[in-house]
Amino acid sequence: MKLIASLTSPYARKVRIVLQEKRIECPLTVDIPWNVDTQVPTVNPLGKVPVLILDDGSTLFDSRVIVEYLDHISPVAKLIPNDHRQAVQVKRWEALADGISDAAATIFVERKRPSAQQSPEWIDRQMAKIERGLQTLSDDLGERAWCVESYTLADIAVGSCLGYLDLRFAEIDWRVQYPNLAKLADKLAQRPAFAETMPQP
């Protein structure tokens, strides 16, 4: 297998953390989809990372598909519970965290356009998604130690999302507003898989 990814993508980081937690050896090729010389569209018609190239040359894309595949091929550190109800809860957490990352990435790309071409209304709409999403994450977490009953893909997805906000949106002071999310993020940061995949500006 080989992983095609960007080092700043929250979705790619989620996959990289899962690979480490599952102890799956997988070479990483860094490819930025926005670069003019990117090869990403040759392995993913949607032109997005991450992309997992399997040993037979076939590809998997969308991080949610990749992490589910990885969780099934190795019995180490089961990250999606076998219990259907709990598995759905984990995937809901992942969908919410990924949705916050989607809105944040949309703002990041919009702000790279010339200022005269940017849409303040569009940015505000995406920022509202982030704010509602963070509130829901915090409300759902409450005082629990983990998003579900134990450390799962839900925590990995939420940690990757919060890490992306730290990287790209310093103006969002989510740590002060949501101390329970900050406590979770700090605990996750102590795990080697999180520490070794920390995105750099």
Q: What domain range is 177 assigned to?
A: 84-191
Say which CATH number the domain at 93 has: 1.20.1050.10
The CA radius of gyration of the chain, in Å to the nearest whole number, is 17
What are the residue ranges of helices labelled H in 112-200? Answer: 120-141, 153-168, 174-177, 179-189, 192-195
What pLDDT is stored for residue 201 in this prediction? 77
Q: Are residues 89 and 68 in the same domain?
A: no
Six-digit token string for 74: 């190795």
Q: Cα(127)–Cα(133) distance, rounded to whole angstroms?
A: 10
Is residue 197 one of the residues assigned to a domain? no
Amino acid at 38: T
Is residue 168 one of the residues assigned to a domain? yes
Q: Are residues 149 and 62 in the same domain?
A: no
Q: Are residues 26 and 58 in the same domain?
A: yes
What pLDDT is stored for residue 124 in this prediction? 98
Q: Of 73, 97, 127, which closes a domain?
A: 73
Q: Cα(19)–Cα(41) distance, rounded to whole angstroms?
A: 23
Is residue 171 one of the residues assigned to a domain? yes
Say which CATH number the domain at 59 has: 3.40.30.10
In tens, the pLDDT along 162-172 reads 999 999 999 99
Q: Phi/psi at 39 (nearest 5 deg)?
A: -105, 5
Q: Of 23, 54, 73, which closes a domain?
A: 73
pTM: 0.97
Residues of the chain with pLDDT under 50: none
